């Protein structure tokens, strides 16, 4: 890391390497400066060749300039990252750290998956991202989605906090830390009487992959309590949340970590990208 470089240098490398995952410069800079992140670089005698961002036990992103690929620079960066991570962890996770879930694998010809498989990484599943362009046509589909009788929809207030956490624990206990740590995140509720039947995070500036100044929404952590499942509440609630973002002039909506693809297809959402969820057990590496 002897050579001087600017964030713009790294941003240029990222933009060339990840054209399907555009980021604004400000969002990219925030990623590099996030808590506990470490930037590792590969270089020759003239310039920066590539870089890797490590956060916790995650290799957040690894990029190498196109003309220098297949020359050992990516392997060099990965070895450095694994060495850094091994000081405190026994497993490396590809992705995470607020950007990718895993390794982008949208184009088989350009996929980095074989690179990581060759170095001992395996994945049990592939994560899917989905998106919805917001316009009159998509809003008509959302409005036509059936709404279950007796259910009303509204955004949570401070007075809902205790009941919301109880509902989250019932529906998907793994999400509790997300809701506990993001107290100010807008949460849309499905309500029956005085009970919370369902919930979802709805953020008008929550989109991740874009390079313009328009608003890109995000919906996440869609959950329905056990008592109210199989009534169409989740689908109706997602339609309501999507419409709220349309009314706030969002250009589109992004969904991350999607498993129920056919379910979201009913609302007009389509798959936009796929990411290979690679992991690898490691031992402490001493240099």
How would DSSP label each residue in 91-119? EEEESBTTTBSSEE-S-TTT-SHHHHHHT
Angle at 172 between CA 277 and CA 174, to 5 degrees: 55
Pairing of strands 122-133, 91-94: unpaired
CB burial class (10 A; 0-12, 13-18, 19+) of residue 169?
A: middle
* Residue keyed to tokens 């339609």: 239
Q: Could you tell me how many residues make up the chain?
A: 287
7-125+275-281 and 135-250 in the same fold: yes
**Bridge partners, 280 (sequence order):** 92
Torsions phi, psi for 281 (to 5 deg): -75, 140
Whether the Cβ atoms of residue 79 and residue 287 lie closer than 8 Å to each other: no
> Domain map of the chain by residue range?
7-125+275-281, 135-250
Whether the Cβ atoms of residue 269 and residue 141 lie closer than 8 Å to each other: no
- For the question of whether the overall pTM of this predicted structure is more than 0.95, the answer is no
Domain 7-125+275-281 = CATH 3.40.640.10:
no
Taking every pair of C-alpha atoms in the chain, what is the biggest distance, in angstroms?
69
pLDDT in 10s for each residue of the chain, 287 residues: 456 788 999 999 999 999 989 999 988 988 887 767 899 999 988 889 999 999 999 999 999 999 999 999 999 999 999 999 999 999 999 997 678 889 999 876 678 999 999 999 999 988 899 999 999 999 999 999 999 999 999 999 999 999 999 999 999 999 999 999 999 999 999 999 999 999 999 999 888 888 888 999 999 999 999 999 999 999 999 999 999 999 999 999 999 888 889 999 999 999 999 999 999 999 765 54
Architecture of domain 135-250: 3-Layer(aba) Sandwich (3.40)
pLDDT at 284: 63
pLDDT at 109: 66
């Amino acid at each position: 890391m002897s050579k001087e470089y600017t964030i713009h240098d790294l941003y240029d490398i990222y933009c060339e390497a990840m054209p399907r995952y555009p980021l604004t410069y400000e969002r990219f800079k925030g990623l590099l400066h996030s808590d506990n992140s470490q930037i590792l670089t590969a270089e020759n005698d003239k310039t920066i060749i590539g870089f890797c961002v490590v956060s916790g036990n995650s290799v957040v992103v690894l990029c190498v300039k196109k003309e220098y690929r297949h020359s050992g620079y990516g392997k060099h960066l990965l070895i450095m990252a694994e060495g850094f991570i091994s000081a405190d962890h026994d497993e490396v996770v590809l992705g995470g750290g607020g950007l990718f879930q895993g390794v982008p694998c949208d184009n088989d010809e350009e996929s980095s998956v074989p690179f990581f498989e060759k170095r001992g990484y395996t994945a049990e599943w592939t994560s899917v991202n989905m998106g919805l362009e917001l316009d009159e046509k998509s809003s008509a589909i959302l409005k036509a989605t059936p709404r279950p009788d007796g259910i009303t929809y509204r955004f949570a207030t401070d007075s809902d906090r205790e009941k919301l956490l109880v509902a989250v624990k019932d529906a998907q206990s793994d999400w509790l830390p997300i809701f506990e740590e993001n107290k100010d995140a807008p949460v849309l509720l499905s309500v029956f009487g005085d009970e919370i039947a369902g919930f979802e995070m709805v953020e008008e500036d929550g989109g991740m992959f874009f390079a313009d100044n328009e608003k890109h929404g995000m919906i996440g952590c869609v959950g329905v309590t056990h008592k109210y499942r199989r009534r169409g509440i989740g689908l109706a609630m997602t339609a309501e949340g999507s419409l709220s973002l349309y009314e706030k002039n969002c250009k589109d909506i992004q969904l991350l970590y999607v498993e129920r693809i056919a379910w979201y297809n009913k609302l007009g959402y389509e798959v936009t990208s796929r990411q290979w969820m690679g992991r690898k057990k490691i031992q402490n590496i001493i240099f």
